[in-house]
Every structure is written in C-alpha cells, then in structure tokens.
Structure 1
Amino acid sequence: MTEGFSIQDLSFEPLSKENVPLDFNCGDKDLDDFIINDALVHQDANVAMTTLVRYRSEVVAFYSLATDCISLDSNEKGRIRKEYRIPYSEFPALKICRLAVCKGFQGKGIGRAMVYDVIGLALDLQEWMGLRFLSVDAYRASEGFYKKLGFLFNHHENEIDPRGETVSMRFDLQPIVWEEREI
C-alpha cells in the first residue's frame, strides 16, 4: 500500500462520527484506543480537536490539539522579560496532545508533515490570539523525533512527569514569526 508513496498525496480532515478509523494500528495500544474510543468524546467536550491524515482513501495518521500554558524556568523568563519587557511567568501554547502514524506508514515523514501542519495552524492563529509556543508531553520513545524538529525540554518543575513516562517539550514560534517579517 505504500508503494509509490508521496507526502504530497496526504490530505487532512477533521475527525467526525462518520470517519472514525476503527482499524487504526500504530503499535501503541494507548494511542490506538484513543483514536477509536476517546477522540470523539474529547472533541464533543471541546477538550481536544483531532485531525485525521489520509493517504489516498486510507487514514494513516492523526493528531489531536488543545490549548496549553507553559511555565519557563527563571533563566528563560529573564531572557524574554529582557527582550520584550513582558513580566509573565506563563506563556500561551498550542499543545500536541496525541500524534500517531499507522505501522505501515511510519518512517516516511508523515509525523514531520503533521508537526509542520500544526506549526502552520499556530502561525495562522497568531493573527487572532497570543500564541508563543507549541507544547507536547512526548513519550520517551518519541523524544528524539521532537528534538530533531527543534523542540526543547521544559525544565520548569510544573512541567515534569513524576512517573517519567513522558517528557514535556516546547517549540518557540517566535523565530519563525521574525523570519516571516523579514521576507
């Protein structure tokens, strides 16, 4: 099914009652269960919104988003205070709550394409609201994926998972905003 695969053949659509991928299998039971049983419940409660990714007609991936607020450590806060004269200790973020790719499509750049899609959405949202960061509580196994995309660790004590199953990470949108303004 992946023969001749091209990232340009991906399409994105919102999750609905009509398109729940009941046979989704990314190899992680928690993520599979979420998209099959919980994503619509979260969406109906306005807790997280889910986007499906199709390759041709098949759902091959998804991501879920919610709003977030992250705390920075004192050094980072000091840098932002100095640069922008902003006294806040917490900053608005768009959180990637879940992100998964079906087994047969992993390693083909779909995860990266989804993160780029989220970055584009975040930049669009900045026209309407304050939004400085993307955030994610990444599974330890996915930590390297996010680091390659430019995410950094959150070191503030409120951002640390006491069980050690996930690691809190963030992506600063501001350098992209500066770059766009220079063009």
Structure 2
Amino acid sequence: MPFTGFSFFELHAATIIKPFECGDTDLNGFLNDKAIPYKKDLLATTYILENENKTIAYLSIYNDALAVQENQFASKTAFKRWIKEILSHRKRHLRQFPAIKIGRLAVCETTKKERKGIGKALVNFVIDLALEQNNKCACQLLTVDAYEKSLGFYEKLGFKFLSENDNGEDTRQMFYDLRPLMNTLNED
C-alpha cells in the first residue's frame, strides 16, 4: 500500500477490529458483525487498513461469476455487442465470466477528507491480486454492485456498467475487464 504509517493485513478470526465509522450503517455493521463470520464460512475475505488508533478502511472480496442474460440489456443487439466485446473468440455461447467481486469497500469518514486515494489504492490492490491469481485460476473481471453515491468513483477507475436496465436502482452492476492489463503483462 502506498501509505506510510498504516498497517494493511488480511482479517482473521483473532483480529481485534479497531473503531471504524464511514457514515454508512450497513458498511460499519458488516465490518464489526459479519466480516469474521464471513471469513470463517469462506464467504468473503476482508482486508483492513489501520493506524494505531482506528480502522482507516476495509475491503471485502470474494469469487464471483458475472452471469449475463439477454433480458439484462436494452436489446438483443446490445447484448450481442457486449458479448462480442468481452470475448476475443467465437465461443459466444458463454454466459458466465469468472470474476472477483468487491463485496464491500469503505473508508473512514474523517480520513476521506484528510487523504484522497485510499479507495483507489484498495481497488488497485484487488486488481494486482487478480492479475497474480490469473497464473493459477482464470479471472477475467472485477465486479461490484455499486451504490449510487459510489458510481463516479468506480467509473473514474475504469469500471463500466453492465447494462442500463438497473439505472435508478439502489445499486448498479459494474465490471472492470482485466484482459488489457493481463495482455500488457504477457507482452513484457
């Protein structure tokens, strides 16, 4: 992580979680009440960024498959265009794509104002992790069901909307295609 004075680590059952407040009850509650049980049940892995006094940010990820169906798109043409864009070969019958989902990402409310770039650094950590894991198990996409207030954040990082059908919902399905980064690594 590019931040000095912080510890970044994977949450374990024995981890003592330091105080955290991001301004969102659901995100606060997940870290305090569900992150460790999710780890024990192999549902999500949580990473914590903290200083000596408090939790600065956290991120929970898990394996995913982005399942797409024609009815998620405005038209059959839009669906076919998306499939053609995401697949580099003729196997266009595929309807599920291997992914890592960002299940939760939250930054401490006071830290957001003091330091910009923490959320981006956490997403970049997941990108690096996915690229590394691609040597062992394929992962084409990062996915997120983004809250409306976070849409701009993910768009700036290169995430795209799966379709327009969920426009106006509480969350929107977004994805980040790892293939261009993987292709660049393979060229080196």
Residues 23-172 of structure 1: pairs in structure 2 closer than 5 A:
23-55=19-51, 58-72=54-68, 73-81=79-87, 83-87=88-92, 88-106=94-112, 107-155=115-163, 160=166, 164-172=169-177
1:56-81 deviations in Å (ceiling 9; x for gaps):
56421100011111134321112344
> For the residues of structure 2 that align with 1:9 and 1:113, how far apart are their CA atoms?
15
AA aligned to 1:36 is N
The alpha-carbon distance between structure 1 residues 34 and 95, as it changes in their structure 2 partners (threshold 3 A), is: same
Contact 1:54/1:61 (CA < 8 Å) preserved in 2? yes
Residues 154 and 20 (structure 1), Cα distance of their counterparts in 2 relative to 1, 3 Å cut: farther
CA contact (8 A) 2:19 2:55 kept: no
What's the TM-score, normalizing by structure 2? 0.84
The one-letter amino acid of 1:75's match is R
Sort the Cα spacing of 1:56 and 1:179 in 2 relative to 1 into closer, same or farther, 3 A: farther
Q: Distance in 2 between matches of 1:34 and 1:26?
A: 12
Q: 1:102 to 1:84 in 2, by over 3 A?
A: same
Provide TM-score, normalisation by structure 1: 0.86
Letter of the aligned partner of 1:67 in structure 2?
Answer: N
Query: Aligned partner of 2:13: which letter?
Result: K
How far has the Cα of 1:147 moved from its partner? 0.2
Against the structure 1 CA distance between its residues 145 and 80, is the aligned structure 2 distance closer, same or farther, given a 3 Å change threshold? closer
Unaligned runs of 5+ in 2: 69-78
Alpha-carbon distance between aligned partners in 1 of 2:85 and 2:43, rounded to the nearest angstrom: 32
In the TM superposition, what is the alpha-carbon distance from 1:108 to its structure 2 partner?
1.8
- Size of the alignment, in residue pairs? 174
Query: Is 2:13 the counterpart of 1:7?
Result: no
3-state SS of 2:174 partner = strand
Q: Give yes or no for contact 1:80–1:86 (8 Å, CA) kept in 2.
A: no
Which residue type is aligned with residue 147 of structure 2? Y
Counterpart amino acid of residue 142 in structure 1: S
The unaligned stretches of length 5 or more in structure 1 are 1-5
Greater Cα offset, 66-75 or 168-177: 66-75
| Deviation per residue, 1:117-164 (Å, 9 max, x gap) | 00000001101111100000011100000000000001186xx48x81
Tell me how far apart the structure 2 counterparts of residues 51 and 129 of structure 1 sit (CA, whole Å).
21
Partner deviation per Cα, 1:22-49 (whole Å, 9 max, x = no partner) = 5210110100000000111111111111
SS in 2 for 1:84: coil
